[in-house]
Amino acid sequence: MTDVDGAGFDGFDAPVIDFRNRNSLWASVAVETLARLGLQTAMVCPGSRSTPLTFAFARHPKIEALPILDERSASFFGFGLR
């Protein structure tokens, strides 16, 4: 639910939820939850099984999605961010 200026009543912007199919719905719910918990940057390793999650991260306005092709490299890169 949002108020007049587009911010939610709880201080967050309106959620970005994708209702096109179940996978997209649950991926966008998970990403919105992570954003509300303070996640700011996500490393994504695009692949056929993670496509809904990758799109959800890419679409969210408060999370920077960084594509990295190799999962192992992404984990080491992620350790260096904090």
- 43 domain-assigned: yes
Q: Is residue 73 part of a domain?
A: yes
User: Is 15 a domain residue?
Assistant: no
Residue 14 banded pLDDT, cuts 50, 70, 90:
confident
- With H, G, I as helix, E, B as strand and everything else as coil, classify residue 57: helix
Residues 6+ apart with CB under 8 A from 81: 41
pLDDT tens-digit map of 28-70: 999 999 999 999 999 999 888 889 999 999 999 999 999 999 8
Count the domains in the chain: 1
Range of the domain at 34: 22-81
- Report the run of H or E that residue 58 belongs to, with start and end: helix 51-59
